[in-house]
Amino acid sequence: MAPVTAGKDRLHGTLDALVLKTLAWGPRHGYAIARWLEETTDEALSVEEGSLYPALYRMERRGWIEAEWGTSELGRRAKFYRLTASGRAQLRREVAEWTQWTAAVSKVLLAS
């Protein structure tokens, strides 16, 4: 398998993977994605809003997610995102890379 690079892309990639995985559970609007990640990780992961939305727009442009305006639980208009087929494929790739990455980093950091 090709080596995974360590750089700013890695950070983007991780956020993308998190969002994609979140949406795998069903369509959500941006706030719901942020709350889901916070809750699922018991507040361990706090998403930076300043990175989340640009990431969502980027992923929409690349066709991994698609957006639709709808009504939120409280009756307000919100923009809902949903995973596309190519998004699912991208998610699988990201998970595979992430596994490879952590394995590599662990080898270094956990070596005695």
Q: Which residues bind other proteins (CB under 8 A)?
A: 29-31, 34, 48-50, 53-54, 57-58, 60-61, 69, 72, 76-79
Q: Which CB sits closer to other proteins, 9 or 48? A: 48
Distance between CA atoms of residues 87 and 93, nearest Å: 10
Tell which phi-psi region holds residue 75, choosing left (phi > 0), alpha (psi between -120 and 50) or beta: left
> Closer to other proteins at the Cβ: 4 or 59?
59
Give least dist CB 23 to other proteins, A.
16
For other proteins, the closer CB: 73 or 108: 73
Report in angstroms how near the CB of residue 57 gets to other proteins at its nearest: 4
Question: For residues 48 and 103, which CB has a smaller minimum distance to other proteins in the complex?
Answer: 48
In whole angstroms, the minimum distance from the beta carbon of 55 to other proteins comes to 10
Least gap, CB of 34 to other proteins (angstroms) = 8
